[in-house]
Amino acid sequence: MLSIPAWPVAAESLSSPFHLSASGELPDWSRLDPYQRTISRADFVHEWTSNYYGGQSPANASPLITILDDRVRIVKQFKRPAEIYELFFAPSSGPPPPGRIWRGVQDLPPAASLDKPLDGLRIAIDPGHIGGEWARMEQRWFLIPERPVPGDPKSDAVITRPPPNPATAPRSERVPVKEGEIVLRVAELLEQKLTKQGARVALVRRLFEPVTRKRPQDFLEEARLAGGFPVGTDPETNRALASAAERMFYLSDEIRARATKINRLFKPDFAICLHVNAEPWGDPENPDFVAANHFHMLINGTYSDAEIAFDDQRFELLHRLVERMHPEEEALSATVAGVVATVTGLPAYLYPGSNARRTPVSEYVWSRNLLATRVYECPVVFLEPYVMNNQVTHDRVQAGEYHGNREILGNSYVNLYEEYADSVATGVVTYFRNHRRQ
């Protein structure tokens, strides 16, 4: 039986002077104690200004994180600014102290065989979203129905009932494109490829079912309070309340449940988060294709002032910084991005707004503060290739898995599932073959 260690108290149980994000956990600042005098001021400032801070105030003048000559002063409670944690700098950065759940490429022993560069590596694969009956709720469900053909009696109705797996379903009718199902099949293929290279691989989910045991109805009261809905508001008639509870379920609690598996059970050296992108498709009942088809990857960073104001996010930022996750995930992501971009031929996505910024290592890799990249306590490789409502992507999903190449819209393609999995596996192998001690 797995023994789960004690963990911080859930935010919902606190009446609180604490300022926490949705389902956020109360920070245990003592977890930073082992990192006292392990990072130099120069390295701390570099990480803070080049990656983590994305707010509007001067980076060295935040009222919540103040960098002094010999230490950084951190406000522990936003509502009680006198509550301070101090992290002291080292004259020069040394190796991180023992206790991290992950090992960087330079921490690994040499591979036992040149043929298996991932020998002994622990890798978690997180197939994004859920799929199945949950896909519509997640808004990761897209269907372009077959257009009626005048005079064809078979065209009077469109079959929209999804098969169990769009990767292997019969192709007599169009099937919905469900992100959670696409990436689960890619995860299964990727698991096989990484295992053959010597890695120990764990999938966060293997079914079209949530990892969390909670369901949307468990969040109705929290959603009612957060949204200011009157007591007695009925989610059956108030769609806004029902939607708020659903978002708490699949955008917050589900990801935090995955973090629990990764941080306490799997304890990987890094995690791979698999996604497929999407562009706005207009009316969900009558969607249409978009011309865009692109690719990007994400690493954790670019925190806004509002995000830093949350006590839990401020702690999680500092924990990632002192564990030196950013250099590892940036370098690994850049290598994987280069391979995926070459294999897929997709152009780089350009983020609008200020919630993300492009890294200097790759036009495909962006720094952004997502829940998964923040609460998974290891470097994260977060992929967003293809646009699911682009016609090429859509038709490749409809084609399913097949051997060799097939002509789709006038061009020759291998099957999308194999292309995605193979390019990621090749990128990971390339990185460790190039950087791991021989």
As a whole number of angstroms, the distance between CA 155 and CA 167 comes to 24
pLDDT of residue 151: 52
Length of the chain: 438
User: How crowded is residue 435: how many other Cβ atoms within 10 Å of its Cβ?
Assistant: 15
pLDDT of residue 282: 84
Q: For residue 126, what are the CA distances in angstroms to 35, 64, 306, 382?
A: 28, 33, 28, 9
Q: Where are the domains of the chain?
A: 98-293+386-435
Supply the pTM of this predicted model: 0.90
**Residue 276 and residue 178 in contact, taking contact as beta carbons nearer than 8 Å:** no
pLDDT of residue 144: 84
Q: What is the pLDDT of residues 233-246, one digit of tens each?
A: 999 999 999 999 99
**Alpha-carbon 253 to chain mean position:** 14
User: How crowded is residue 231: how many other Cβ atoms within 10 Å of its Cβ?
Assistant: 7
Residue 353 backbone class (left: φ over 0; alpha: ψ -120 to 50; beta: rest) = left
Task: Encode burial over 328-343: b for 16+ CB neighbours within 10 A, e otherwise.
Answer: bbbbbbbbbbbbbbeb
pLDDT of residue 174: 81
**Residue 90 and residue 336 in contact, taking contact as beta carbons nearer than 8 Å:** no
Which residues in the chain land under pLDDT 70?
A: 1-15, 59-61, 146-173
Report which residue type is found at 4: I
Q: Dump the DSSP string for 384-426.
A: EESBTTBHHHHHHHHH-S-SS-EEETTEEE--HHHHHHHHHHH
As a whole number of angstroms, the distance between CA 366 and CA 239 comes to 34
pLDDT of residue 284: 79
pLDDT of residue 286: 84
DSSP state of 27: P
